[in-house]
Structure formats: C-alpha cells, structure tokens
C-alpha cells in the first residue's frame, strides 16, 4: 500500500498556472454548475472510498508516531483526527466579505460619471462584496491528484450597472494533475485553474477582485532540484452572471516560463509569452464582461525577473523585472493591425530593521511601461499588461495598470503587535506619453468625460497615499482595513472641464475566513 504524507495531500488552489474544453452543455446555469462539481466529487469518491476502508482495516496495531504535521485547514485537521483514511483528502472553503466606500470614482453605467470628477453625475458608491468558495480534492497516489472548486460572488447596494463583481454559483476550478511525484520530475496539469507566475505583474489570479481570474488550460512542468520549466497554453474564462462561465475561444494565451535558484541567494525567472486574439473576441460579451473580449492582437513578450532570497543580505532585499514586446495590435474589432513594439520595467529595494521594535521595513520602487508616442504613425507602442494582479503594485485605489506610466513608490511596514501589520505607501504617477491614453486598472483606456488623448495636458497625474492594517485573528481568520487618498495633478485638472477635478477617497474593511 502506498503511504502518502499529509503535506503531499493538501490541495489548495495551488500557485501554479493551467486547458480544459468548454464544459457548457446547453443546460441551465445552475444545472451545469452542479453537474460539473458533482462529477469532480464523484470521481474523488470512486477513487478514494476503497482506500479509506482499506486503511481502516488493514492493520490492528497503531502506526509509528510521527511529528505533528502542519495544519491542513480546519476541516481537514478535524477529518484526519476522525480517521486516517482522510489523509489523502482535501476539503475546505473560504468566506470573504468586504465593504468599500468610494468618493469621486467613475461608476460603470452612469453617464458622465468618471474618475476625479465632481458632478453633475454621481461619483459616490458604497457597497458590500461577498465571496464564498468550497473545494474538494483527492490524492490517491503520489502521481495523481484531482481538485474541484465552486465559487459564488455577489454584491449589495452597488451602483455599477452591469455589476462586474457579481457571478452566481459557478465552477471556479476543476483540474487533474498527473505525475510530479517524488520519483517523477515531469507533471501535467489539465483543467480550469488559476495561472500565477512571478509577482503577478503579467500573469495573476486577480484574487483582490470578487470574481478572480481562471483559465481553461494545460500545463507541462519539468521539475529539477535547482530549477523548473513550464510550458502552457489556454483560454481565459469570461464571467457570465447567471450562465455557466465559458472561455473566450478567440483569445489564446501560451508561454514558456522557467525559474532557477542557480544564482546564489536569488530567484531568476525567464519567460516567453504569446497572446493571440482573433476577430470575434469582442463579440464574447457577457453580463460581467461588458466590453466583451479583447480586440484582435498577436503580442509576444520576452522577460526576465530577479528577486533576492529572503534573509540572505543582512536585512536588504531587491527585485527587478524587464519585459519587451513585439507583434501587432488592433484597437477595434475589425480595424487594421498596427506594428506593436513596447517595453516595461520595474526595480525595487528595501531594508528590514530586524532588531528594532516591530521589525519595520522601508523600501523604494520604480515602475515604468511605455506609451504610444504617435497614434497616427502606424505603430502601437503601449505595453500590453496581459493578465496581471495590478492591485498589489500601482496603488490600492486601483486607478492604474502597467501601461503608459511612470510610478515612483515609497513603502514602509511595521508590526506593532505580533498579529498586527501596518503598511504605508506613497505613489507619484506620471503618464509616460500624453499622446496616449490614461489607462484603467483593467487595461482599458479612459475615453469619456474629457479623457482621451490630450497631448496638451501636463503629464503629472497625481499622488496617492495608502494605509492598510491587517490583523491575524486566528490561523484561519483575518481582518483588514485600508484608506487611500488620491491628490489630482496637472493631467487631471487640464483634462477635466469646468474646473471640476477633485481628489478621490477610498476606504475598505474586510474579513476572511478559511476553512
């Protein structure tokens, strides 16, 4: 009988990327979601119930004592205390609630409502976001694991229409992993899942969002003691509230991503990414994706990322990422393809005072992404941000993406209590080129309310201050609150008409329970 340790069996939505064909069958949304989740759970039961019975009856003497394993979650810990047959299983979930209050933010679906504008349209919005996830996984052998996860996302009192943060009970992840055991360096992961690489500047799960981001994808990994290499291809899944979420068949995302620790005290990543969007993508319009899919493009990205290993430089740390792009791009559904040439870079460093009260850390960071210097020259020079988690980098108020921007960031953090962490960030933003748009956090250009291509405006957009406090209530519960204020600069005051530009404010409070 194969012995599998607890640490091999916990199957959270792992931090690795993922192709699964569309699971839609033409049935109603609720029936499709229930059917998909039922198939995952049924397969787990078929594979596992015999092994549970066998483990319970195969021996009459107690197993040798083992060191206490790391917690696998509240539900898993309890189940494994009841029976060793649950060792290879993973059951769990998450509940998250977040209240947000926004002032002088554009409201989707409200004509004339744009960022940093004081009236006449409404720019005040307060709402409650709710997200629940449940998952089941089974790992009967070292070389086989199965995972399924359902998600429900909703909002209350939200003025946005359509509501981009709502998606009824749906299949969030469902994948199988073959290989990758202790004696097999190659693994294949096939199914609906998150793609996460590096710091998530180009490929991330967008966990801050109420829906997140998943792909129907296939990935092949080679794992060595000092490095790993992934090759993947897949399609991004478009949320469709009230219907089964399906991938955009016109938007293929593929790549090769390698990571190594061969350079002493450093992680070094190299990657080549390809995004190929054909005509018909914009017709993939859904309730939660009001703009439909991306416009046609073929974008090829070559990049390098380095990051210091924690604790190896006497308190100092560093990180950097560089990416260049070639290809073609169309700004409309059936327009001409422009030659695409763009680049972006980021550099950061900091110091942690390990012997001072609260182990404070101070850091500096600079982010740059190219913009289009001439919209009429037949070239497209705006960096393609791909599928990032931008919330972590360019201000917690989420006004910016890694496109046409200079961002200078100063950051600090401290732990005044063992379970309390407080961070303070300061950002200063400029457009890289005023002959290009001011891009939103989701990568779309601001085009209404006076925004557009305004070469006569100053390029200084403004500054942002963010303060966030996070308290670890228990190992399975946390609370967080944050406040941000954006001070508008010359670009905003020059762009908005009638001297109605106003600073923006943002407050949120969030609780997360993991089971």
Task: Report the range of poorest mean pLDDT among 48-57, 92-101, 497-506.
Answer: 48-57
pLDDT at 272 over 80: yes
Q: Which CATH code fits 6-514?
A: 2.40.160.100
- CA–centroid distance for 371 within its chain: 23
Distance CA 492, CA 458 (A): 8
Nearest C-alpha neighbor of 18 from the set 150, 190, 236: 190
pLDDT at 498 over 50: yes
Confidence class of residue 25 from pLDDT cuts 50, 70 and 90?
very low
**Average predicted confidence (pLDDT) for the chain:** 88
pLDDT at 335 over 60: yes
pLDDT of residue 118: 87
Confidence class of residue 51 from pLDDT cuts 50, 70 and 90?
very low
pLDDT of residue 497: 73
3-state SS, residue 229 = strand
For residue range 340-365, what is the model confidence (pLDDT) as tens digits?
A: 999 999 999 999 999 999 999 999 99
**Mean local confidence (pLDDT), 306-330:** 97
Residues 281/294, Cβ–Cβ less than 8 Å: yes
pLDDT at 16 over 50: no
Confidence class of residue 373 from pLDDT cuts 50, 70 and 90?
very high
DSSP tag of 439: B
Confidence class of residue 71 from pLDDT cuts 50, 70 and 90?
confident
**Mean local confidence (pLDDT), 281-309:** 85
pLDDT at 85 over 50: yes
For residue 226, count other CB atoms closer than 10 A to its CB. 8
Q: What separation in angstroms does the CA of 487 have from each of 85, 363, 409, 462?
A: 58, 22, 15, 5
pLDDT of residue 259: 98
Confidence class of residue 292 from pLDDT cuts 50, 70 and 90?
confident
Residues 457/496, Cβ–Cβ less than 8 Å: no
**Mean local confidence (pLDDT), 89-109:** 97
pLDDT at 116 over 70: yes
Nearest C-alpha neighbor of 267 from the set 228, 316, 222: 228
pLDDT of residue 67: 52
pLDDT of residue 287: 62
Residues in the chain: 515
DSSP tag of 63: P
pLDDT of residue 500: 85
Tokens of 102: 């926004």
Distance CA 72, CA 499 (A): 56
Q: Which residue has the tokens 């000092």?
A: 226
For residue range 221-262, what is the model confidence (pLDDT) as tens digits?
A: 999 999 999 999 999 999 999 899 999 999 999 999 999 999
Tokens of 220: 């092949």
pLDDT of residue 284: 73
pLDDT at 48 over 70: no
pTM of the model: 0.86
Q: Which residue has the tokens 């490095």?
A: 227
Q: Which residue has the tokens 């962490």?
A: 421
Tokens of 187: 């693994």
pLDDT of residue 46: 39
CA angle 288, 294, 298 (to 5 degrees): 155
Phi then psi dihedrals of residue 296, to 5 deg: -60, 140
Q: Which residue has the tokens 């990571």?
A: 259
**Mean local confidence (pLDDT), 465-494:** 97
pLDDT at 263 over 70: yes
Nearest C-alpha neighbor of 375 from the set 411, 333, 399, 404: 404
Nearest C-alpha neighbor of 321 from the set 237, 386, 379: 386
More confidently predicted of 35 and 200: 200
DSSP tag of 234: E
Sign of the C-alpha dihedral computed for residues 294, 395, 111 and 438 taken in this order: negative
3-state SS, residue 315 = coil
3-state SS, residue 6 = helix
pLDDT of residue 52: 39
For residue range 384-426, what is the model confidence (pLDDT) as tens digits?
A: 999 999 999 999 999 999 999 999 999 999 999 999 999 999 9
Longest Cα–Cα distance in the chain: 84
More confidently predicted of 9 and 267: 267
More confidently predicted of 183 and 364: 364
- CA–centroid distance for 149 within its chain: 17
Tokens of 252: 């293929």
pLDDT at 277 over 70: yes
Q: What separation in angstroms does the CA of 49 have from each of 54, 55, 86, 138, 147?
A: 9, 10, 10, 11, 16
pLDDT of residue 285: 66
Sort 263 into a burial class: Cβ within 10 Å, 0-12 / 13-18 / 19+.
exposed
pLDDT at 218 over 50: yes
Report the first-to-last Cα separation within the chain, whole angstroms.
30
pLDDT at 72 over 50: yes
């Amino acid at each position: 009988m194969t012995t599998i340790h607890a640490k091999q069996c916990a199957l959270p939505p792992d931090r690795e990327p993922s192709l699964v064909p569309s699971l839609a069958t033409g049935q109603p949304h609720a029936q499709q979601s229930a059917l998909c989740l039922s198939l995952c759970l049924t397969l787990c039961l078929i594979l596992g119930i015999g092994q549970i019975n066998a483990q319970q009856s195969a021996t009459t003497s107690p197993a040798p004592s083992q060191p206490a394993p790391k917690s696998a979650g509240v539900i898993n810990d309890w189940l494994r205390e009841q029976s060793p047959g649950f060792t290879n299983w993973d059951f769990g979930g998450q509940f998250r609630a977040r209240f947000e209050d926004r002032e002088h933010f554009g409201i989707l679906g409200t004509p004339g409502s744009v960022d940093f504008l004081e009236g006449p349209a409404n720019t005040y919005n307060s709402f409650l976001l709710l997200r629940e996830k449940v998952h089941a996984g089974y790992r009967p052998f070292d070389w086989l694991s199965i995972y399924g996860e359902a998600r429900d996302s909703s909002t209350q009192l939200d003025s946005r229409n359509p509501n981009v943060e709502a998606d009824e009970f749906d299949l969030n992840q469902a994948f199988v992993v073959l290989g990758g055991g202790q004696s097999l360096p190659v693994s294949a992961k096939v199914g609906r899942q998150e793609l996460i690489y590096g710091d998530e500047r180009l490929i991330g799960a967008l966990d801050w969002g109420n829906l997140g981001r998943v792909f129907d994808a296939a990935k092949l990994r080679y794992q060595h003691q000092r490095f790993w290499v992934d090759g993947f291809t897949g399609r991004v899944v478009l949320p469709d509230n009230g219907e089964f979420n399906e991938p955009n068949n016109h938007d293929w995302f593929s790549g090769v991503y390698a990571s190594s620790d061969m350079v002493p005290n450093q992680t070094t990543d190299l990657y080549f990414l390809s995004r190929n969007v054909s005509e018909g993508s914009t017709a993939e319009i859904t309730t939660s994706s009001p703009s439909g899919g991306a416009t046609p493009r073929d974008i090829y990205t070559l990049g390098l990322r380095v990051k210091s290993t924690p604790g190896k430089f006497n308190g100092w740390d560093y990180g950097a990422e560089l990416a260049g792009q070639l290809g073609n791009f169309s700004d409309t559904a059936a327009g001409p393809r422009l030659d695409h040439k763009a680049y972006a870079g980021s550099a950061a460093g900091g110091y942690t005072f390990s012997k001072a009260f609260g182990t404070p850390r101070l850091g500096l960071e600079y982010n740059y992404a190219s913009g289009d210097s001439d919209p009429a020259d037949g070239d497209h020079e705006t960096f393609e941000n791909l599928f990032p988690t931008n919330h972590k980098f360019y201000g917690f108020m989420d006004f910016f993406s890694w496109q046409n921007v200079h961002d200078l960031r100063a950051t600090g953090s401290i732990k005044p209590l063992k379970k309390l962490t407080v961070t303070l960030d300061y950002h200063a933003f400029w457009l890289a080129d005023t002959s290009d748009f001011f891009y939103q956090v989701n990568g779309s250009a601001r085009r209404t309310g006076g925004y557009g291509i305004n070469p006569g405006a100053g390029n200084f957009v403004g500054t942002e201050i963010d303060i966030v406090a996070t308290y670890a209530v228990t190992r399975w519960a946390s609370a967080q609150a944050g406040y941000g204020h954006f001070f508008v600069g010359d670009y905003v005051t020059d762009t908005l008409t009638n001297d109605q530009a106003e600073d923006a404010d943002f407050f949120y409070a969030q609780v997360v329970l993991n089971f």
